[in-house]
Structure 1
Amino acid sequence: MEEGAAASMTVGEKRVAVDVPTDAAAAANGHGPEEKAAEDVPAPSALSGWPRTTGMYLFVMNIRSVFKLDELGSEVLRIAVPASLALAADPLASLVDTAFIGRLGSVEIAAVGVSIAIFNQVSKVCIYPLVSVTTSFVAEEDAIISKYLEENNSKDLEKAAHVHSDACNVPASGGDTPVCANSCIPTECADLSNQGCKRRYIPSVTSALIVGSFLGLVQAVFLIFSAKVVLGIMGVKHDSPMLEPAVRYLTIRSLGAPAVLLSLAMQGVFRGFKDTKTPLYATVVGDATNIILDPILMFVCHMGVTGAAVAHVISQ
């Protein structure tokens, strides 16, 4: 019994001797029960609603990734920069146009200002829905058609290669040696290589052009026959000296409404194809034409406000 007790005590002492250093090491490393409980508490920055994980902090910390010129960033810049320049070109051209009209007198520039405001307000009813809907529809249909062509491209190439190999095994007349007869390739398979070069038909493009032209005609007819009424609603009285030049400018300017909406529909189409350079070039050419024709028609041809309206319609 004494030997057994001594053995158990020896075992116990060994166990204690093993456990004590473990507790001491845990205390030395700061991982005791209290420290472990403290570790289980989440850091303040991990709590929901903490300002370091939301708002301006995330913007500042991720600013480099936002402006990183990777493949996606380069594509965004390629689309956004020409679109921004096209939007900036119209106000600059309007400033030059206003400077020329201001030389005619205060009555003329006031009349033109009211007419432009009316024209723009009526146009905005159709511009934004037309452009946004056209862009989204064209982009969607273009993506669907591109995906369909990519899926069928491999099948068409395999079919063309199979027909070509069969044609090369045609024996020559009077002998058994196979001759590659390119003229024997069927037309339907020979045309497979030209499918990628054919222009794709996208129904939304045609629909956008038709709708844009129709809305432009409706806007032109409305403004031409209701010019005096709309100007009266805007505060231009029937005995005001502004009425006559305002009616003349608004009537002539309304003739270009179909061209305006048609060009905007085309801009939406090109944006759907991720092409914003072509609308930029068209906008710059139109604004430059307006700036060149303004002084010629207004001062050289002595057409005044009418010349400004005609120059604007021609540029559109």
Structure 2
Amino acid sequence: MQNLIPKPDSGKVAPTRTGGNPKIENLEFAKRNIPSASSALVIGGLLGLFQAIFLIIMAKPLLRFMGIKADSPMLTPAIQYLTLRSLGAPAILLSLAMQGIFRGFKDTKTPLYATVVGDVTNIILDSIFIVTFHWGVSGAAIAHVFSQYLISIVLLWTLRKKINLLPPSIADLQFGRFLKSGSLLLARVIAATFCVTLAASLAARLGPIPMAAFQISLQIWLASSLLADGLAVAGQAILASAFAEKDHEKATATAVRVLQHSLVLGLVLAFVLGVGLQFGSKLFTKDIHVLHLISISIPFVAATQPINSLAFVFDGVNFGASDFSYSAYSMVSPLFLLNEI
């Protein structure tokens, strides 16, 4: 973690001519050069472009690999959605990188406001493109891509006031140090994504109705589970500060408290979903066959909430302690157990 913290003199910015305006001069000196932040932005942008190109070119083979047959009614809309949605990959990865930078500043409000603006825009555009224009899944994809770029623009505009987005030279970028920790987190993300992708592939092979029920259940499960991410972010920021100050007592107290809160949150979510989905599932579909399958999944969605909540917060605790290796290994190791089964 110390390697990613800028050295004392790296925060200085050479003075620039501002016409003698003290306000502009103060603004210029307020900016800092943070190589790790610049590296994150560059890597995020490049990976986003690569991901977009890869998904657009490989859309049909990937969907076939997922189990969608050539004569399946899901194939055409799936290709349309995946191709259009892929255009938002650069914005998504950039926004994730910038959210991490803001967390490093202990600024969780700016990402929240930007996300709210993007989500509200997404909802409005969904109504226009899907209901008014009847664009179907293509409209949903376009609305999502537009909202993601809006989030990235808001975050980028705010971040440029705090730091210099690009360092004075390429040599100042810390790709090696950044990728050392990033590779561990990448392994963790791949492991988590693999599990969800495998489940989606198995559901797709069963046909449109099971796939529809699976997607509705999955989105509800993810949306409720991600509520614990707020606790994880708060715990991560406080823990990182405590470890930097070598205040181990504060770190221990913080970890215990956020874990307690996460367990309570998980139990509350389990009760709300267990009861609410009995009636609320009709908000997503009117198909009786899909509703029947959703009713079967309700106990699993509800019962896993305490586990999910604890898992998210444990990740935040590990990230705050810069223990990326444990987070990666703990996520990857179950895959080998799954392979043995």
Q: Give the shorter-chain TM-score range.
A: 0.3 to 0.5
TM-score (norm 2): 0.37
TM-score (norm 1): 0.40
Higher RCO (CA-CA < 8 Å; seq separation 6+): 1
- If you compute each CA radius of gyration, which structure gives the higher value, 1 or 2? 1
